[in-house]
Amino acid sequence: MLEASLSGVLKTVLIVLLVYFGLKILLRYFGPILLKYFMKRMGRKFEQQFNQQFGGAQEKPGNKKGNVTVDKKAKSSRRSNKKVGEYIDYEEID
């Protein structure tokens, strides 16, 4: 039958602790870098899906980069109707 020696158990516990703390330190320094990388990658993926679905940003053929154009709506000659309606007098019933 196999017996666990004290030195074998200590080696195993020491290896587990070293791996744990090593990964903890590595993730503290390289975690933000990995997170930025994956966020950029997911952003590009979402942008690709958006461009496939909606055709991307559609520019007018006459516009060049850096030029600003303002399209104004024609003024509508809407006049308010002063005649609101018939006035009805209500009486309270007790």
Q: What's the token pair of residue 5? A: 């020696």
Provide the domain count of the chain.
1
85 found inside a domain:
no
Tokens 């609101």 belong to which residue?
84
Structural domain contains residue 29:
yes
User: pTM for the whole thing?
Assistant: 0.41
Instruction: Report yes or no on 43 lying in a domain.
Output: yes
Q: Is 88 among the domain residues? A: no
Instruction: Return the pLDDT at 6.
Output: 87
Average pLDDT of the chain is 83
Is residue 12, in this structure, part of any structural domain at all? yes
Q: Give mean pLDDT, residues 41-52.
A: 93
pLDDT of residue 94 exceeding 70: yes
Task: Let me know if residue 60 belongs to a domain.
Answer: no
79 or 60, greater pLDDT: 79
Q: What is the mean pLDDT of residues 16-44?
A: 95
Give me 85's structure tokens: 């309606």
Confidence bin at 85 (pLDDT 50/70/90): confident
Domain span at residue 23? 1-55
Q: Which two tokens stand for residue 14?
A: 């020491």
